[in-house]
Amino acid sequence: MPNLDLSPKSAATYRILRAVLLSRDPFYQIDISKTAKASASQASRVLRWMMEHGHAQRQPDGKYRVRNAAGMVISAIPYQRAMKHALHASINLRGSRREIIEALVRAGGVLCLESALEEYGEFFRADRICIYHQEPGALMKKLEADEGGIVPVSIYLPDLPLDGDVEKRRRTTRFRTVLDLACDGRIYTAKELVETLWGVRIE
């Protein structure tokens, strides 16, 4: 994805992409700017990039329409963003899985990846606990006394802003969960969420 920066410093770019990809109806550029709290020039740059790469088109009335939003999330964005780069540490903790999850959330963790997905579906069961935490180093120190168990925990430092992407103060939203799973090479686990968000079935 050349010329479209999705690093932490480009929070506005991410907000624009999120607003655009979640828009079910055609929209004006000014509407996206307001929704994403971004400047007109920032919105224009993202929309121009999307049109150049076939992800959006401008209609005769001046509105924009996204083409295959699911495809962009599943294929285009993961081209330059990988969750492994945000991974701070992986550890094994003692205790029951449920107790560990709730303790991590109380400590400021936000369930992400498979752990967030697990909360959105009745049947999916994750084989590890995944969380975002703004201060993973400090959290690791608190967890030292509980290390040595059999419950795997992966701790990620947010590489993209979490503002607007957290639900019930405990898990990433459906959109962020799908995006993160796509960027972790696990989009196959999120088929139901993809269909919920965009009405698209993936195989």
Tell me 150's DSSP state. S
pLDDT of residue 183: 95
pLDDT surpassing 50 at residue 68: yes
CATH of 11-67, one of 2.60.40.2230, 1.10.10.10, 3.65.10.10, 2.40.400.10: 1.10.10.10
**pTM, to two decimals:** 0.93
Domain ranges for the chain, please list them.
Answer: 11-67, 83-198
The DSSP secondary structure of 45-64, one letter per residue, reads HHHHHHHHTTSEEE-TTS-E
pLDDT of residue 7: 54
Q: Are 93 and 54 in contact (CB under 8 A)?
A: no
pLDDT of residue 9: 57
pLDDT of residue 172: 98
- pLDDT tens for each residue of 106-153: 999 999 999 999 999 878 889 999 999 999 999 999 999 999 999 999
In the chain, the DSSP E strands lie at: 56-58, 64-66, 87-93, 110-111, 129-132, 151-156, 166-167, 171-172
Residue carrying the six token digits 């449920």? 98
pLDDT surpassing 60 at residue 8: no
pLDDT of residue 1: 44
- pLDDT tens for each residue of 151-183: 999 999 999 999 999 999 999 999 999 999 999
Average pLDDT over residues 37-53: 92
What type of residue sits at position 81?
R
- pLDDT tens for each residue of 82-119: 999 999 999 999 999 999 999 999 999 999 999 999 99
- The rounded radius of gyration (Å) of the Cα atoms in the chain is 18
